[in-house]
Chains A and B, each alone.
Chain A
Amino acid sequence: MKRKKVLKIVAILGVAGILIAGGIGLYMFNMPHRDVQSADADYTLTASEIVSEYFTDNEAANKKYLAADGDSKILEITGVVSKISEDFSGQKVVLLKGEQVKAGVSATFTSETNSSLDNVQIDQKITIKGVIRSGASYDDDLEMYEHVIIEKSDIVLK
């Protein structure tokens, strides 16, 4: 009689364990992407500040801003709009530049945030928030300066 009771408890614990492990597994597998816009910015800076930081020491800047799991730093960047275009999937891309004219910050918006750029004009000073994907540098093969790339952007109202 006692043995039966123990077996029952073991069985219940076992089933509960499997359910919890399965639940965690399912949660991990379906874990949503980080919501960049609802998270706080890790750094607030100007377009020329981040560009010159990358020009000064590319490796150190990558260490500071890029994360190993791809959820890199969320940045709030202020600069002057020098170009507004669209990427291949139809998202708006705004190029912010500071006094440093060689490279800037290229910020891609999302289907939810594209409309934030509707009334933005060239030469207007704006602040955007987004996640950094890569830094600025001169590329010998492209023979061009590459911009800092920011994605999942939206405008920050000040």
Chain B
Amino acid sequence: MNRSIFLSIATFLLMTVAVYGQTSEKLVSSKSNIKFFSTTPAEDIEANNTASVSTINIESGEVVFSVPMQGFEFEKSLMQKHYNSDKFLDTKTHPKAKLKATILNLDQVNFSEDGSYSADVEGELTIKDVTKPIREKGTITVKGNQIALNSIFNITLADFQITFAKGKPSSNIAKKLEITVEAEYEQN
């Protein structure tokens, strides 16, 4: 008896949370591009991913990106195979990467007034099940109902235990990658 009461309360709470999550303080983006760029004397490598989902909570300043790792597209098919393989990103075992961060200077960003705002973002980036703290700068652009987020930052592959002992990838892929994030949000 107690158990069923507990269960129904839990269900009710979960439903409340689910409904609450849908409210308008959350901006949702399914229109984004995440690019990574690696440059070495041997070659430049670039890959783009337009399949991510992102949210910004304009009350709490929380920014989330969920990135389907197999969505990165390379010019060369062989590079894409290397990237996905268990020696590199192991995307079969870890199909998603996640950024979960907070806008520190939220009081300086006015989501209801047109303009361009610099945002300090601090949080965690999880790639291949390795979570590392990050602190980066981004720009939030407000134009009417449209809100855009842009950021360029570097990540060090070794931080996420992505390393190459030998072979071509070790000389042709930079130890640090430049990540460019562009996302357009709509008011939910």
Contacts and interface: CB of A to CB of B under 8 A. Distances in A.
Contacts of B149: none
Interface in A1-60: 28-34
B55 A31 contact: no
B149 to A, nearest CB: 12
Given A70-B83, A135-B95, A87 B78 contact: no
B30 A141 contact: no
B28 A71 contact: no
Interface stretch (B5-13, B69-77, B139-147, B153-161): B69-77
Size class of the contact patch on chain B: 35 or more
Interface string B127-169: 0000000000000000000000000000000000000000000
Contacts of B83: 70
Interface of A is mostly: loop
B49 to A, nearest CB: 9
A38 B33 CA distance: 27
A68 B82 CA distance: 10
B51 interface: yes
Interface of B: 17-18, 21, 26, 28, 30-33, 48, 50-51, 53-55, 64, 66, 68-71, 76-78, 80-81, 83-86, 90-93, 95-96, 98, 100, 182-184
Closest A-B pairs by Cβ, 4 of them: A70-B84, A143-B21, A134-B68, A69-B81
11 contacts: A30-B76, A33-B80, A34-B77, A66-B92, A68-B84, A69-B85, A133-B70, A139-B64, A139-B66, A141-B64, A144-B28
Interface of A: 28-34, 62-63, 66-72, 85-89, 91, 93, 106, 108, 133-135, 139, 141-144, 146, 149, 151
